[in-house]
Every structure is written in C-alpha cells, then in structure tokens.
Amino acid sequence: MKSILKIYIVDDDESVRRALSRLMKSAGYESETFNSAQDFLDSVPAKTKGILILDVHMPEMDGLQLQENLNILGFRMQIIFITAHTQAGERERAMEAGAKGFLQKPFSDESLLNLIRAQVDWK
C-alpha cells in the first residue's frame, strides 16, 4: 500500500539516511531526507503533515528539541524516533510528547515498516 503521506527522514549519518530512503522506496513510500533538524525546519513548511523518522542524537538541535519545536510550530507529524544510544528518560520524554515509536539502532526493517504502516492506517 502506498502512503499518501510523505515520510521525512532526519539523521546526521548519511549512510542511515541513504539506507532508510532506499527502504522507503522499496516499500512504496515517498521520502525526503535531511542531515539536521535545522535543515528540516528550514525546508518543510509549518503545518505540514507526514511521518517523521527522527534521530535522537544530532549536533546542534537534537531530535527531542526538534519534536518540541514542531509541536510549538503546529506541525502535524507522526514521529518515530531512532537512536543508537538511549539515555535515561529519552524514550519516556519522546512518547509523552506524542511520538508514535522509539527504535534502538540497529533495528529490523520490518520493525520500522510496521510502525509506519500503523501511522498510515491511523491517518
């Protein structure tokens, strides 16, 4: 099933962005990648709907800060966090602020696709 929602990928690791973009394409989803939270904010208009795959730990603005900014700015993103290193309280903070998933790297393609499908079906 092809999503009518665009999938946005924000991760400072180019290899992760490429791999996730290929996965989205192979699963029939349109995606766009960004190497930083600020790049995403500068490129995507407020009030945009979609699914956001978001790295927690990035330089300058981290994923949790971006989530907070998106909520303030009125974005209607369904956020799925991904991270290689979880610090105490991050998962809880993300989920309490409305995240729809939180995956520890490395994760299976199917784990991520299942979370995405749940958001597509919800919409």
Show the domain range for 106: 7-122
pTM of the model: 0.93
Report whether 79 contacts 50 (CB < 8 A). no
Query: Look-up: residue for tokens 């499908």?
Result: 117
CATH number of the domain within which 111 lies: 3.40.50.2300
Residue 107 lies in a domain: yes
Instruction: Give the model confidence (pLDDT) of 34-60 as tens digits.
Output: 999 999 999 999 888 899 999 999 999
Residue 58 lies in a domain: yes
Residue 28 lies in a domain: yes
Residue 30 lies in a domain: yes
The pLDDT of residue 88 is: 85
Element spanning 37, H or E: helix 37-43
Residue 2 lies in a domain: no
